[in-house]
């Protein structure tokens, strides 16, 4: 996204060819951006500048990517042309008022359904002005959306978050020469600046690594090294929570690549114990909770999660769908409006419906490492949304898995 609206050519290495990322590439190609690749993880983006995008011929289809839809809402609110943004059935049911309402206070005009969902019809040619916005719920997607809109706004846009969230957008804006003021949970940008192209080396994603961190923790006699993993402090909640549960995770060779902290992670099997998950860690591990629930099911004692109501509006209702799946495998799992209580126990085999949610499908695949019988996971085509090659990689590390 930022490479497309920068001046010059941005080169990206380590590009993940997941469906979300590919849908985003295609959206910018549809708006006139010349993008080479992906080719062996390499993408070259020929930026058109902040005001160089062109009206697409048809609606932009972002597939299953909530991140793309929410961030693009901010970026597109500042364009001169009208555009419609759509997605698959799951994405079209996800709440978008959390971005459309603050964008409206900036002067954007975005039409949604009566329920506040996509399709989003974004009107062009609107003059945006900066706002001072306190987010009611910590969300990196909302923060990033408003900062991107702030690039096109007159004056300063400031976003205040109630708890720390991932800061990749702020880091990358700074890396492309755009001044971002960050302090005490607030990020601010001034409109009217310029982005300058750069080279980006994308580290391995900790959300994807999380499945193998849990898998190696719960499978007997495991010893696994995950290389070149991003350990941005706004993303390491999964490491902190697993360590509190007793996981044996070692951070090896920490370094910085392209402004992002990176390390190798060595994880060995360890007896896990149930915990009360600290509420301050919840925003830092929000995408990893499906597989953390598997860790909790394999732990001794009770694990309690609160403060995670955001899980109910992800690709699925992750609280309810995970509770249903765990119960089907013989685990006591009691859903709550904002979390879950899980009693560790013995996983049986059984059949689980992932409801088309990629993270839930991969989480229950890891549960098979401790189950007494076969686990069948239905409706899991969307694994390629975020983790193409998951089945092959899991097979190579010792999991008996087939499609």
Burial class (CB in 10 A: 0-12, 13-18, 19+), 253: exposed
Q: Which residue has the tokens 């500048």?
A: 49
- Tell how strand 375-378 and strand 350-353 pair up: parallel
Contact criterion met (CB below 8 Å) for 316 and 385: no
> What's the per-residue H, E or C state across 267-332?
EECCCCECCECCHHHCHHHHHHHHHHHHHHHHCECEEEECCCHHHHHCCCCHHHHHHHHHHHCCCE
Q: Which residue matches tokens 């008022």?
A: 97
In angstroms, the CA 168 to CA 321 distance is: 29
Q: In angstroms, rounded to a whole number, what is the distance separating the alpha carbons of residues 340 and 305? A: 5
Beta-carbon contacts of residue 71 (< 8 Å; ≥ 6 apart): 1, 141, 144, 145, 148, 169
Please confirm, yes or no, whether 379 is among the known catalytic residues: no
CA–CA distances in Å: residue 34 to residues 4, 9, 41, 54, 236: 8, 10, 17, 12, 35
At residue 102, φ and ψ (nearest 5 deg) are -65, -30
What CA–CA distance (Å, rounded) separates 44 from 36? 5
Alpha carbons 38 and 42: distance in angstroms, whole number: 5
Catalytic residue among 20, 287, 353, 357: 287
Q: State CA 275 to chain mean position distance.
A: 25
Positions marked catalytic: 287
């Amino acid at each position: 996204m930022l490479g497309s609206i920068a001046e010059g050519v941005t080169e990206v290495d380590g590009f993940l060819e997941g469906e979300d990322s590919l849908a985003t590439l295609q959206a910018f190609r549809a708006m006139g951006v010349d993008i080479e690749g992906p080719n062996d993880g390499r993408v070259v983006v020929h930026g058109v500048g902040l005001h160089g995008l062109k009206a697409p011929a048809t609606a932009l289809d972002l597939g299953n990517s909530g991140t793309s839809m929410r961030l693009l809402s901010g970026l597109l609110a500042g364009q001169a042309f009208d555009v419609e943004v759509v997605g698959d059935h799951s994405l079209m049911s996800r709440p978008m008022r959390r971005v459309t309402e603050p964008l409206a206070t900036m002067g954007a005009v975005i039409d949604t359904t009566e329920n506040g969902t996509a399709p989003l019809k974004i009107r062009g040619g609107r003059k945006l002005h900066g706002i001072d916005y306190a987010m009611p719920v910590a969300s990196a997607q909302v923060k990033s959306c408003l900062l991107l809109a702030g690039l096109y706004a007159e004056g300063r846009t400031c976003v205040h978050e109630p708890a720390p969230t991932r800061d990749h957008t702020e880091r990358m804006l700074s890396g492309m020469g755009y001044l971002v003021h960050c302090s005490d949970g607030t990020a601010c940008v001034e409109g009217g600046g310029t982005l300058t192209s750069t080279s980006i080396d994308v580290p391995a994603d900790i959300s994807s690594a999380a499945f193998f961190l849990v898998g190696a923790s719960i499978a007997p006699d495991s010893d696994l090294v995950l290389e070149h993993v991003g350990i941005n402090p706004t993303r390491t909640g999964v490491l902190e929570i697993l360590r509190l549960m007793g996981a044996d995770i070692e951070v090896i060779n920490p370094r910085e690549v392209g402004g992002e902290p990176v390390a190798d992670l060595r994880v060995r099997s360890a007896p896990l114990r149930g915990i009360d998950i600290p509420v301050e860690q919840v925003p830092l591990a929000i995408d990893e909770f499906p597989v953390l629930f598997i860790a909790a099911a394999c732990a001794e004692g009770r694990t309690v999660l609160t403060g995670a109501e955001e899980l109910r509006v992800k690709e699925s209702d992750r609280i309810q769908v995970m509770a249903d799946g765990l119960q089907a495998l013989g685990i006591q799992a009691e859903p709550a409006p904002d979390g879950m209580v899980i009693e560790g126990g013995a996983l049986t085999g059984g059949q689980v419906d992932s409801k088309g949610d990629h993270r839930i499908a991969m989480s229950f695949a890891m549960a098979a490492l401790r189950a007494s019988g076969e686990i069948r996971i239905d409706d899991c085509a969307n694994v390629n949304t975020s983790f193409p090659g998951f089945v092959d990689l899991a097979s190579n590390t010792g999991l008996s898995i087939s499609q």
